[in-house]
Every structure is written in structure tokens, then in C-alpha cells.
Amino acid sequence: MNTPLNDSTVLVIATRNYGKTKELTSLFQDCPYDFQSLADQNIVLTVEETGLTVEENAMLKARKYMELAGLPCLSDDSALEVSCLNGEPGVHTKRYGGLENSSDQARNDYLLKKIRESQSTDWSAKYVSVISIAWPDGEIMIYKGECYGKIIPEFKGDLGFGYDPIFYLPELDKTMAELSLEQKNLISHRGIAAKKAIEGLKTRM
């Protein structure tokens, strides 16, 4: 990440997820801000996601990390919503089935088990991303993106993270984990939210 010229141009990416940090850094590479990580700010606290919605969690994390850093903070909260599970895992995506500290493989296996138990033939799903940016002056920005697909029972690809290997995109005939980072940024829920966020950030310069 770049060394900032002054505090007014710094934006802290508030996540400890390596895959998400990589994606966000790539998505905002042309944005007129100098991005830093929580590690750059020596912040070790993990903010608990106690919100009832993706939007609430995104705002909660952005605001808390902004208070800790004393700098504007950008936070992303994402969710996978599966139709036959009535929108689960939803806001519990990262800790679905009590598996927050388990591997992506374990969470994917658990999701597939739940879908099979539903005995539904509708495996359609969507990814949702909400990007929130909190500013020391009290302003909170919110941007949302969605990406539609379906869950498949076999794992394909090793380029993504989370549920990407089983999230299939019919129009591309690939899972999210089979896409390069550049391809993913063009169509993903996070990519869509980031495009909106970049336009909002430009108004702050």
C-alpha cells in the first residue's frame, strides 16, 4: 500500500480477511486515496458483527474502526442468500452453522448438506455486498451490490475464497472461483458496490 502524503488522503480498509483485502485493494486501485490496512494502523481489535442485517454490520465495523484509527474507514460486509434456505446463511454467512473459525471447505460442506436436506430443486442464490465508509466528521456512506447465480454440488476453481467454488454463474459457465481477479471485479457483488463507492469517494476529494 502507498505511503500517504497526509492524513486527509488516507482511507483504512477495515478487514482481516486476506482475500477480501486483496479484492478491495484491486477494486479501489484507481481511487484518489492512499489505502492502509488495520495492521498499518496497529489495530488488533476485532469488531463483533452484532448487526441484524448486512448493512448494519458494514456500518458498525466502519464506524468502530474509524474511531480507533481516527481516519476514514472502509468496511465491506457480504452475505450469501440461498433461495431454498429462505435466504440463509444471510447475515450469518461467515459463521454459518457455528463454523466461523473453520475452513471455507467446512462451511461449503455444511451449506451443501443443508440444501440437500431441504430436498428442493431450486438451488438459486445471490451474493450481496454492502460497502460502508465512515468519516471522522460523522458522515456514513453506504453502497450495495448484488450478483445472481446458483449453488452447485461440486467444487470448481481455486481462485476465490468463501463460497466461491460452489457459486456458479450460468452466463459465464464458471464458478466465481474460476474467474481471475480482474474478471471477478467486473461482475461480482463487491465489484458492483465498489464502483458505486468510488464515485462517492470522488465527491469527497
76 is catalytic: no
Report residue 119 as a C-alpha cell. 430436498
**Nearest CA to 76 among 89, 93, 99?**
93
Q: Where do the domains of the chain lie?
A: 7-202
User: Do residues 123 and 115 lie in contact, with contact meaning Cβ atoms separated by under 8 Å?
Assistant: yes
pLDDT digits (tens, 9 = 90+) for 75-125: 999 999 999 999 999 998 888 877 666 788 989 999 999 999 999 999 999
User: Do residues 75 and 131 lie in contact, with contact meaning Cβ atoms separated by under 8 Å?
Assistant: yes
| Chain centroid, CA 134 distance in Å | 16
Among 7, 34, 40, 77, the active-site one is 77
pLDDT band at 1 (very low <50, low <70, confident <90, very high): very low
Q: Which residue has the higher pLDDT, 15 or 90?
A: 90
Contacts for 152 with CB less than 8 Å, ≥ 6 apart: 123, 166, 168, 175
The class of domain 7-202 in CATH terms is: alpha beta
pLDDT (0 to 100) of residue 142: 97
Average pLDDT over the chain reads 90
* From 38-47, 69-78, 109-118, 144-153, the region with the lowest mean pLDDT: 38-47
- Whether 63 shows a pLDDT value over 50: the answer reads yes
pLDDT band at 26 (very low <50, low <70, confident <90, very high): confident
**Section 31-50 average pLDDT:** 88
